Amino acid sequence: MTAYDDLMVHARDTEALAQVAGRLGWDQETMMPRGAAEQRGEESAAMEGVLHARRTDPRIGDWLAQAAATDDVGAANLREIRRSYERSRKVPGKLAAEIARVTSVAQGVWAQARADEDVAAFLPTLARVVALRQEEGAALASGGDVYDALLDDYEPEAKAAELSDMFGALRPRLVALREAILAGPQPEPLSGCFDEAAQLALSRELAAAFGYDMSRGRIDKAVHPFCSGSGNDVRVTTRTDAADPFNCLYSTIHEVGHASYEQNVSPDYLLTPIGRGVSMGVHESQSRIYENQLARSPEFAGWLMGRMHDRFGDIGITKPEEFARAVNRVSNGYIRTESDEVQYNLHVLMRFDLERALISGDLAVADLEAAWNDRFAADFGFAVDRPSNGCLQDVHWSVGLMGYFPTYSLGNVYAGCLYQALRAARPGLDAELARGDLGGATGWLREKVQRHGALRGPRETIEAACGFAPSEAPLLDYLEAKFGALYDL
C-alpha cells in the first residue's frame, strides 16, 4: 500500500460515514418522531465527533507528506483531502465545539425572536455567533481575509472582492429590470383546485422528465425542500400549497437539479473525496438552470400548461403566453425564498454586503436592522414592515452560515453561463423544451458538469463546461431578454 492508497482507504470510510450522518439529517426532517429530537441531538453529535476525529487524524498529515498522485483524479483527491485536513486542523477543537454548542442554541433563539418580532432578543446571540465566526475565520485565514476564509468553506477558491465586483455589476441592471416590470400590469394568477395528491404525482412526473433516477432516490414531503445524499442514494423533499401548485412543482425541479448533480457524478468517484458536487455555487447552478432557464422557459411552460390541464382540469389559464407569465410572475415581496428570478439576487446581494460588514466589524450587530431596512428600501422601493419580513427572515446567520449567501447568486451567474453555452451547443433546445423533452439539456449538463464531481475546482468546472470564463453578463442578458419579451418592456 502506498501512502496514497492509505489515504484513500481512510477517506472512503470517512465519506461513507458522512453519508450516514447526512441520512440522519434527512430522517430528522422527514421521518423522525417529534419526541426524539433531544436524543437525536446526542446521536448527531456522536456522529460529528467520529467524523471530526477522522478528518483531523494526524496520520492524514503523514500520508499527505508522502503521497503522490499519478493522474488528475489522484491530484484532485489529494487536493480535497488536504483542504479538509488543513481546515480542520487550523480550528482549535475548543472553538469548534463552542461554535457547535452556541449555534445549536442560537437557532432556537432566532426562531423565537422571529415569532415574537423581537430583534433585540436575538442580537446578543447573533453577536456571539459573529464573534465566534470571526475567530474561526481568523484562525483559518492565517493573516488573509477573514470573510474569504469563511466563504471558502462553501465556495473553494472564491474571493469576496471578486464576487463584490460581479455583484456590483448585477445590481443596477436587476433593480432597473425589476422597476420596469413592476411599472406594467401584473400577470393573471392561476385559479382552480390543486389536489395535493395530483400535485405530488405531477412533481414525480417532472422529476422523471428531468432525469431523476427514482431507483436511487425518493421524494418525500418536508417543511423546507432540500436534497440529501450522494451517489446511489440521493433523496429530495418537496412541499405542497393548495393555492399555489407552482410551489411544489418548481421546488421539486430545483431539488432535482441538486440531486442530479449528486446522482450523475461518475461511479468511479463513488465514496471518494471528489465523488460529489464541488461547491455550493456549482450546485446551485444546476438547481437553478433546471428550475429557471429550463423549466421556466416559455417553451417548457407551454408544455407544462398542458400537463396541468390534464392533472387539474381548469386552472384559469388557457393561453401559453399567459401561462408563461404566470410562472414568471414578478411582484413586490419581502421574502427571499418566495422571490422570483429577477429579484432573488437582489435579496442575496444585500445579505452578502451586510454579512461581510458584520464579519469585518464595519457593521455592528446592533445596527444590523437599520442597515437591512435601508438597503431593502433602496433596492426594492418599499419599506420592511416587520422583522420577520426583514432581518429575521433567514435561519442562516443564527446557525453561523456567514459566507453561504453569495453562493446562491454565484450559482445563478453560473447557470446563466451554462445556459448560454447549452443554447450554442443545442440549437434545437427550444423545440425540445416545447415538447417537454429535457433529455438533451440534462444530458449536456451531465456530461459537461455533473459527471466530473469535484475533479476540478468550481470556477474551472464552469469554465471547462462553457468554454469561456464565467461572468455575470450571460445571466443579465438572459433575464433582460426573457422578461423583456414576457412583459413587453
Q: Which of 255, 284, 341, 472 is catalytic?
A: 255
Residue 318 exposed, middle or buried by CB count within 10 Å (0-12, 13-18, 19+): exposed
- Looking only at the bridges linking them, the beta strands covering 219-221 and 235-238 are parallel
Minimum distance from CB of 250 to a second copy (Å)? 23
Instruction: Give CA–CA dist 263/212, Å, rounded.
Output: 8
Please name which of 133, 122, 142, 140 lies closest in space to residue 100, comparing C-alpha atoms.
Answer: 133
| Number of shown-chain residues binding a second copy (CB under 8 A) | 37
**Sole binder of a second copy in the list 42, 143, 183, 488 (CB under 8 A):** 42
Minimum distance from CB of 112 to a second copy (Å)? 22
Contact between 19 and a second copy (CB under 8 A)?
Answer: yes
**Sole binder of a second copy in the list 142, 185, 197, 215 (CB under 8 A):** 215
Active site residue 255: yes
Contact between 107 and a second copy (CB under 8 A)?
Answer: no
* Region of 44-52, 68-76, 301-309, 402-410 interacting with a second copy (CB under 8 A): 44-52
Cα-based torsion angle of the residue sequence 14, 16, 21, 25 in order, rounded to the nearest 10 degrees? 140
* Region of 38-46, 136-144, 192-200, 448-456 interacting with a second copy (CB under 8 A): 38-46
Say whether 201 sits in a helix, a strand or coil.
helix
Nearest to a second copy of 277, 411 (CB atom): 277
Contact between 36 and a second copy (CB under 8 A)?
Answer: yes
Residue ranges of alpha helices (H) inside 265-343 are 280-288, 298-312, 320-327
State whether the Cα torsion 128-133-139-143 is positive or negative: negative
Range 106-110, long-range pairs (CB < 8 A, 24+ positions): 106/398, 106/399, 106/400, 107/395, 107/398, 107/399, 109/398, 110/392, 110/395, 110/397, 110/398
Please name which of 222, 231, 293, 219 lies closest in space to residue 256, comparing C-alpha atoms.
Answer: 219
Minimum distance from CB of 56 to a second copy (Å)? 15
Contact between 184 and a second copy (CB under 8 A)?
Answer: no
**Sole binder of a second copy in the list 131, 201, 208, 214 (CB under 8 A):** 214
- Which grid cell is 196? 395535493
Contact between 118 and a second copy (CB under 8 A)?
Answer: no
- DSSP E strand boundaries for 28-122: none
**Sole binder of a second copy in the list 145, 157, 205, 233 (CB under 8 A):** 233
Contact between 101 and a second copy (CB under 8 A)?
Answer: no
Contact between 135 and a second copy (CB under 8 A)?
Answer: no
Amino acid at 293: Q
**Sole binder of a second copy in the list 31, 105, 243, 378 (CB under 8 A):** 31
Contact between 213 and a second copy (CB under 8 A)?
Answer: yes
Nearest to a second copy of 275, 406 (CB atom): 275
Site string for a second copy, 258-287 (x = CB under 8 A): ------------xx----------------
**Sole binder of a second copy in the list 2, 39, 112, 332 (CB under 8 A):** 39
Nearest to a second copy of 47, 121 (CB atom): 47
Contact between 17 and a second copy (CB under 8 A)?
Answer: yes
* Region of 10-18, 103-111, 354-362, 382-390 interacting with a second copy (CB under 8 A): 10-18
Please name which of 133, 83, 109, 104 lies closest in space to residue 361, comparing C-alpha atoms.
Answer: 133
Cα-based torsion angle of the residue sequence 292, 297, 300, 304 in order, rounded to the nearest 10 degrees? 70
Minimum distance from CB of 36 to a second copy (Å)? 4
The residues, any chain, with a CB within 8 Å of residue 64's CB and separated by 6 or more, are 3, 7, 78, 81, 82, 85
Rg (CA), the chain: 22
Residue 398 backbone class (left: φ over 0; alpha: ψ -120 to 50; beta: rest): alpha
Contact between 64 and a second copy (CB under 8 A)?
Answer: no
DSSP state of 227: E
* Residue whose cell numbers read 450571460: 474
Nearest to a second copy of 33, 428 (CB atom): 33
* Region of 11-19, 150-158, 198-206, 253-261 interacting with a second copy (CB under 8 A): 11-19
**Sole binder of a second copy in the list 5, 9, 43, 172 (CB under 8 A):** 43
Q: Which residues are catalytic?
A: 255
Catalog residues that contact a second copy under the rule CB under 8 A.
12-13, 16-17, 19-20, 23-24, 27, 31-36, 38-40, 42-43, 45-47, 49-50, 213-218, 231-233, 235, 270-271
